[in-house]
Structure 1
Amino acid sequence: MARRALILIEDTRTNGPVFVQAARRLGLHPITLSADPAQHDYLAAESIETIRVDTDSLDALIRECSQLRAAYDIAGITSAREEVYATVGKLCRYFDLPGPDSASIERCCDKFTQRQLLAAAGAPIPAYRLVANAMEVESSAAEIGLPVILKPAVGTGSSGVRLCRTVDELVEHTTYLLGGKYIWRSSPRMLVEEFAQGPHYTAHIMGNEIIGIEASDFGPPPHFVAREGIFPAPLTDDEHERIADVSLSCLRALGLGWGPTNIQLRWTKRGPVVIEVNPRLAAGPRLIQLAYGVDLATEHIKLVIGEEWDLRKRHSHTAAWRCLLPDRDGILDWIDGDSRAAAVPGVAEVKLDVKPKTPIVRKGEVRDSLGYVIAVSTSPPRAETILQRAVDLISWSITPFPTTGGEEQPVALNSPHVIEAPAPLD
């Protein structure tokens, strides 16, 4: 009898390993198809069967999966990466497997089309304009009024997203996006959007069910790099209901409702405003597992292979997280304290994503993070106290890149404070 396999198309740094582990727990053999397997360092470490293939080509993926069917019983095909999720839907349809609707995914991943559909359905969204050149950027910003958000119409991980508070900042970011430094996956199309101000929330959804709502915050502007968050968010019943109602209306407007979705919102003076709908698991389903005992990666894979999922909560705790964000570019001399942080009672996970001697070049996106810490407890204040205690034990040193003024000296950091330790702790 052929071995049951789960095909994973590409992955993400956070959720890729989670999908692999969940597949194995379900008795499946994970196989990753990737255009560049070397970029996923955990694949070799976990001895994951990996095949190099052009994941932008549906025909190439169909040929590879057809060949794999000669040796395996392909139970399902999925991905943790939004950029290829529409292709996953097409593959599932070709091989008669459960999967997302590719047309709905494609509409959702184009932020302009998403905005149009949400506006037509009456969903609360920021004012927006689609632009393609510097003149349109400037005139649209003038119509909406500064400050505005300028971002690519297609993209993930906050890449290319910036708050522009002045005309000079607007010109600077427009030049960056259109001047050859930003890498476009398609023809350059941008959105100028009203800056919706207020606390940030993410609704985590499976199918048509709201699993929970997370509160989060970002690093310093003008970028939107995730810094910290807590799940579930401390909301009143009325606030929770309003966010849930708006989120479910987004699913209907966009034709979603199969598998995972995460919806980002801001609570503004007019209530919840939809910032973005993402047809995938948010980074870090571990939070929900710690807080509620629901393993969304496993339940998602059950859906993918045609089994019944179980979204019942096993308990009710609070999980809090913090990303380790550098405050400068340079060479990472050392980073230390992760083992001590992991030993703090209540700390569920500590992960460092970089190694010493790595060049640190901040781009104002999710990959700027050096790692993260997650803590869990029975109450929000206790979880946040545990988290802070653990983060305070982690420190690092970054030597700024040399400047014309002479050789820079290393600076040791403990996010977000500067400390004076010039060498790693024992």
Structure 2
Amino acid sequence: MGRRALILVEGGPWGCCPLYVQAAKRLGLHPITLSADPTCDDYLVTDGTEAIRVDTSDLDALIHECSRIRSTYDIAGIMGRSLFYATVGKLCQHFDLPGPNPAAIERCCDKFTQRQLLAEAGVPMPAYRLATNTKDVERSAAEIGLPVVLKPSVNGGGSIGVRLCRNFDEVAEYTAYLLGGKYLRRSSRSIMVEEFAQGPYCTVDAMGNEIVGIGAGDFGPPPHFVYHQFTYPALLTHEEYNRIADVSLSCLRALGLSWGPTNIEFRWTRAGPVVIEVNPRMSGTPDPQLVQLAYGVDLVTEHIKLVIGEECDLRRKHSHTAAARFLVADRDGTLDWIGGDSRAAAVSGVTEVKFYVQPKTPIVRKGDYRDTIGHVIVASPSRAQTEATLQRAVNLIDWSITPLPNLGE
């Protein structure tokens, strides 16, 4: 039998591809990435990972390539980036390997279908409507009551295309943008109109039917939902934790997500926890790092073990506080310089300082996760110590952006 290989379809969750490659190697696996453009991911070059060019939107092409690989390697498992997760499930079924249920993934990625299934199960959620034109959107907003959140009906992740609309002018303006823009070209050209659930944000990380951890999140100013900070664990009472965990398990049952990683987003409102979204995948970086630092559970490694048919170990090893602060561009323009990473990294308790962009990079803010230009991660046994260390480290980082010229002047 040939060497055991782990197939990665377009890598792993956002920002986690190197983590998956490193974990696969630690488990004695040979990672092979199948990608439509292997040159677009730096980790494929820096880690010396084998990469094969293939049309990843073509299931038959992927089956053919995996069949060819099997002539040389023993394919231990197949996994991939969230946008290809249903395809990964189909590949796993074809080759009789452990994997997600592709039908459940596809249902979950349609936000309206997801809402319907959760509503049938009695899961608490914001009021919602599905609209296909401007008149439908405006009528739905009036029925729900302002403010409302508008988003494409097909799951894109990272708050892409999501916006808070506080009056009907903003509703009309953003509806025209969505219907006329790139977000809906490949989808059903429909928009979800949802009640704005106000309250603290929580994020749940589950593996199979087990809740691994619950974190808290903060966002930048509206109308966008750009991540500002994540902290694990969330500061919850025992009763609050149990209520969120119970609702999370209800979501998994309602959506048929009993295998693999799932991320569930909540807002704690006056009525208690309401589900904002269920993502049938693992969160992108830095959530897996925060979970490992806070609880001692390596979600990436345990996910791979699940994929290759081995038993997971999700037992918590310790209880620390881990937090990540995102560095967010404050204007459009050209990044002249960014620095202070070495000083920040030298602060005791800092585990990672990472910049996503290089000097001279054009900065064009989009109102979603792509506005972040880096992050700082800190962990310690104390919540107060973690927060103080995080602020100290972030204060050591600075950058300069030259605004774009105003062509109208």
TM-score (norm 1): 0.93
1:274 aligns with 275
Which aligned runs of 4 or more in structure 1 are off by greater than 4 angstroms? none
1:169 aligns with 170
1:397 aligns with 2:400: yes
Q: Deviations over 1:341-380 (max 9, x none)?
A: 1110000111100000000001111121101000001111
2:40 aligns with 39
Determine if contact 1:333/1:399 at 8 Å carries over to the other structure. Answer: yes
One-letter amino acid matched to 2:386: A
2:379 aligns with 376
Determine if contact 2:148/2:196 at 8 Å carries over to the other structure. Answer: yes
3-state secondary structure, aligned to 1:204: strand
Determine if contact 1:13/1:40 at 8 Å carries over to the other structure. Answer: no
Q: How does 1:123-272 map to 2 (within 5 A)?
A: 123-154=123-154, 155-182=156-183, 184-272=185-273
Q: How does 1:215-364 map to 2 (within 5 A)?
A: 215-283=216-284, 284=286, 285-364=288-367
3-state secondary structure, aligned to 1:210: strand
Q: Distance in 1 between matches of 2:335 and 2:169?
A: 32
3-state secondary structure, aligned to 2:146: coil
Q: Deviations over 1:306-339 (max 9, x none)?
A: 1111111111111011000011100000000011
3-state secondary structure, aligned to 2:328: coil
Q: Distance in 1 between matches of 2:137 and 2:269?
A: 24
3-state secondary structure, aligned to 2:352: strand
Following TM superposition, by how much is the alpha carbon of 1:180 offset from its aligned partner in structure 2, in angstroms? Answer: 3.0
Following TM superposition, by how much is the alpha carbon of 1:186 offset from its aligned partner in structure 2, in angstroms? Answer: 2.2
One-letter amino acid matched to 1:337: G
One-letter amino acid matched to 1:55: T
One-letter amino acid matched to 2:312: W
Q: Distance in 1 between matches of 2:177 and 2:41?
A: 28
1:110 aligns with 2:113: no
3-state secondary structure, aligned to 1:370: strand
Q: Distance in 2 between matches of 1:52 and 1:145?
A: 49
3-state secondary structure, aligned to 1:17: helix
Determine if contact 2:184/2:190 at 8 Å carries over to the other structure. Answer: no
Following TM superposition, by how much is the alpha carbon of 1:267 offset from its aligned partner in structure 2, in angstroms? Answer: 0.2
Following TM superposition, by how much is the alpha carbon of 1:39 offset from its aligned partner in structure 2, in angstroms? Answer: 2.3
Q: Deviations over 1:199-232 (max 9, x none)?
A: 0001110111111100001111111111101100
Q: Deviations over 1:76-125 (max 9, x none)?
A: 0001x221101100000000100011111111111110000000000001
Q: Distance in 1 between matches of 2:158 and 2:198?
A: 20
Following TM superposition, by how much is the alpha carbon of 1:182 offset from its aligned partner in structure 2, in angstroms? Answer: 3.5
Q: Distance in 2 between matches of 1:369 and 1:108?
A: 27
> What is the CA RMSD across the aligned residues, in angstroms?
1.1
1:98 aligns with 98
2:31 aligns with 30
Determine if contact 2:355/2:375 at 8 Å carries over to the other structure. Answer: yes
Q: Distance in 2 between matches of 1:364 and 1:149?
A: 14
Q: Deviations over 1:222-273 (max 9, x none)?
A: 1111110110011100110000000000000001110100100000010000
Q: How does 1:77-92 map to 2 (within 5 A)?
A: 77-79=78-80, 81-92=81-92
Q: Distance in 2 between matches of 1:159 and 1:184?
A: 14
Determine if contact 1:30/1:49 at 8 Å carries over to the other structure. Answer: yes
Following TM superposition, by how much is the alpha carbon of 1:405 offset from its aligned partner in structure 2, in angstroms? Answer: 6.5
Determine if contact 2:291/2:297 at 8 Å carries over to the other structure. Answer: yes
Figure out how many residues of one structure are paired with residues of the other and give that number: 405
Q: Distance in 1 between matches of 2:83 and 2:174?
A: 23
Determine if contact 1:176/1:182 at 8 Å carries over to the other structure. Answer: no
3-state secondary structure, aligned to 2:230: strand
3-state secondary structure, aligned to 2:323: strand
3-state secondary structure, aligned to 1:158: coil
3-state secondary structure, aligned to 1:371: strand
3-state secondary structure, aligned to 1:324: strand
